């Protein structure tokens, strides 16, 4: 697994990433992406439709790759 990186280095091209949020928020770790919100300015948008201002996230890392093995049958 990748190491957590400072949020300043996160991609701002809409790529889905894993975000670590400030402790005061109801979530700690979410999948999200950078978005330039025309009403509120730049935000981190989450898969569940919520979003926070850029200061709401402290660290990020790329999403892990897909599994390369399929589970074997347990018959």
pLDDT at 72: 73
Structural domain boundaries in the chain: 5-62
**Angstrom distances, CA of residue 49 to CA of 21, 45, 64:** 16, 7, 21
pLDDT at 75: 54
Phi, psi of 26 (to 5 degrees): -65, -25
pLDDT at 15: 96
β-strand 57-62 against 5-6: which pairing, if any? antiparallel
**Angstrom distances, CA of residue 27 to CA of 2, 58, 68:** 20, 13, 29
> For residue range 3-61, what is the model confidence (pLDDT) as tens digits?
999 999 999 999 999 999 998 888 899 999 999 988 878 999 998 888 889 999 999 99
pLDDT at 74: 60
């Amino acid at each position: 697994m990748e190491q957590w990186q400072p949020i300043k280095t996160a991609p701002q091209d809409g790529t889905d990433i894993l975000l670590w949020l400030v402790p005061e928020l109801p979530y700690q770790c979410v999948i999200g992406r950078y978005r330039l919100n025309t009403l509120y300015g730049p935000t981190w948008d989450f898969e569940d439709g919520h979003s926070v201002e850029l200061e709401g996230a402290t660290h990020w890392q790329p999403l892990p790759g897909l599994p390369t093995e399929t589970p074997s049958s347990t018959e």
